[in-house]
Amino acid sequence: MSSERVVIVGGGPGGYEAAHVAAQLGAEVTIVDTDGIGGSAVLTDCVPSKTLIATAEVMSELEGAAELGVNFMDHEGDAATSIRVDLERVNARVKQLAADQSADIEQRLTRDGVSVLKGRGSLAGPDRVVVQGADGAERVLRADAVLIATGAAPRTLPSAQPDGERILTWEQVYDLDEVPTDLIVVGSGVTGAEFASAYLNLGIPVTLVSSRDRVLPGEDAEAAAVLEEVLTRRGMNVLSRSRMESVTRDGDVVTVRLTDGKEVQGSHCILALGSVPNTAELGLEESGVILADGGFVNVDRVSRTSARGVYAAGDCTGILMLASVAAMQGRIAMWHFLGDAVTPLDLKKVSSNVFTAPEIATVGWSQNAVDAGEIQAEVVMLPLSGNPRAKMQGVRDGFVKLFCRPGTGIVVGGVVVAPRASELIHPVSVAVAESLTADQLAHAFTVYPSMSGSIAEAARRLHRV
């Protein structure tokens, strides 16, 4: 067991997961956070957005209920014509759930013997963290290792400034107490697509402003095409190749001006323009920590920065902005520093999900990499429309795609587009992580009828004699 002093700056998944590992390995651990344990992941980003999406999912399932023979009646027995969301209640639930989750995590840390300090931390050399407390008091903590896990914040532009009322970052949407009559979402990356899809399912007219040819430019093109088709079919106005120049507000009207001179008007606008790392004025460069372009902290695969004893994890490194990756980088940092067995971060094993309707889950090598010749792989794509469970549930959109190495048949990646694809991708993740072959994946029993039957079926189609 160690008696090393570890100071962690930032209490998101990168920070708090590292704290658990360091405490378990016997270190004396202090975690410093400005906004609350759980970080943006729990308080403003991941947890709140997925809680909102849970309500949106119920709404879209209800909409599809008639096809399955369920009708809604009002109290006089007449057919009900619409269902409506109570956004104030939804938002209150979102905020309460996030606050409870944050309190749970803090309690677990305290139980593990971690000291939790509220305040702003910065480096005064690689072995010293200065903490500016909320009351203005300053403390200096000596450390044998420091982990920087300060996360990132929504990017805004001088010409598109959020006002917190009608022009909103994703952190501000849960303060809405009225339902937008016309919502514009600027940005069609993962965050923009998730909010656009969620509010559409909540019954709100949505325009999605996308500077690229299609939504989700970073994802599997066939998956993105399915999603765009579903969104437009459900009534979303998707403006492709439309670059936002400015967002302004005049009373109740928000105007998004595009670079081609066109204008779109709505009642509210959500800006989803990406993130900037929280690395300014932290004393990083002065302490020998090299920052990359855009201010991200340079790290290697065991989370080391260029300064001895200083590690970094999560969004502030810009490696792959996911809570799961932040958490793993944080754990790896502590395993490495405290001398435990450690496997360097392998991004080819990360599974991720876009929580739209349908969801898009991916793991391992992508179609883009195969097309670009970065890896040789055989590909099979199986539409879900032939799956018996999908038919029973009225699901028509989506597919399962698997990539395996020619010759060995080892599964190297996959894509699932389906309701709850986030749950369906797991067998593919296990196959990728454990280098299973398509035959091994195919030979495991699946429940009949089940959506996961399509994963086994796709694997069977990759069998070569």
Ligand X SMILES: Cc1cc2nc3c(=O)[nH]c(=O)nc-3n(C[C@H](O)[C@H](O)[C@H](O)COP(=O)(O)OP(=O)(O)OC[C@H]3O[C@@H](n4cnc5c(N)ncnc54)[C@H](O)[C@@H]3O)c2cc1C
Residues at the interface with ligand X (CB under 6 A): 9-15, 32-35, 39-41, 45-46, 49-50, 120-122, 149-151, 170, 191, 278, 282, 314-316, 321-324, 326, 355
Nearer to ligand X, 151 or 427 (CB): 151
Euclidean distance between CA atoms 312 and 300, whole angstroms: 9
Of 309 and 453, which CB lies nearer to ligand X in the complex structure? 309
Give whichever of 25 and 146 is closer to ligand X, judged by the CB atom: 146
State the pairing for strand pair 206-209/183-186: parallel
CA distance 56 to 389: 22
Task: Count the residues in the chain.
Answer: 465
| Residue 22: burial class (beta carbons within 10 Å; 0-12, 13-18, 19+) | buried
Strand segments (E) across 190-330: 206-209, 237-239, 244-250, 253-258, 263-266, 268-271, 275-277, 310-312
d(CA 295, CA 132): 22
Minimum distance from CB of 52 to ligand X (Å)?
10
Minimal distance, residue 225 CB to ligand X, in Å: 22
Tell the smallest beta-carbon distance from residue 93 to ligand X (Å).
17
Number of neighbouring beta carbons within 10 Å of residue 460: 15
Query: Beta partners for 141?
Result: 129
Cα separation, 236 vs 228, in Å, equals: 9
Nearer to ligand X, 220 or 315 (CB): 315
Minimum distance of ligand X from residue 116's CB (angstroms): 11
In contact, 383 and 410? CB cutoff 8 Å = no
Nearest to 144 by CA among 33, 28, 32: 28
Q: Which is nearer to ligand X, 329 or 437 (CB)?
A: 329
Q: Minimum CB separation from ligand X for residue 414, in Å? A: 18
DSSP class of residue 288 equals T
Distance of closest approach, residue 37 Cβ to ligand X, in angstroms: 8
φ, ψ at 212 (rounded to 5°): -100, 180
Closest CB to ligand X among residues 18, 390: 18
- 300: which 2 tokens? 């290697």
Q: Which string of DSSP letters, residue by residue, matches 56-110?
A: HHHHHHHHTGGGGT---B-TTSPBP------HHHHHHHHHHHHHHHHHHHHHHHH
Taking the least distance from each CB to ligand X, the nearer of 195 and 456 is 195
The smaller minimum CB distance to ligand X, of residues 316 and 390, is found at 316
Minimum CB separation of residue 103 from ligand X in Å reads 14
- Shortest Å distance, C-beta 221 to ligand X: 22
Q: What is the dihedral of CA 48, 152, 206, 159, to 10 degrees?
A: 140
Closer by beta carbon to ligand X, 314 or else 398: 314
Quote the least distance from Cβ 17 to ligand X, whole Å. 8
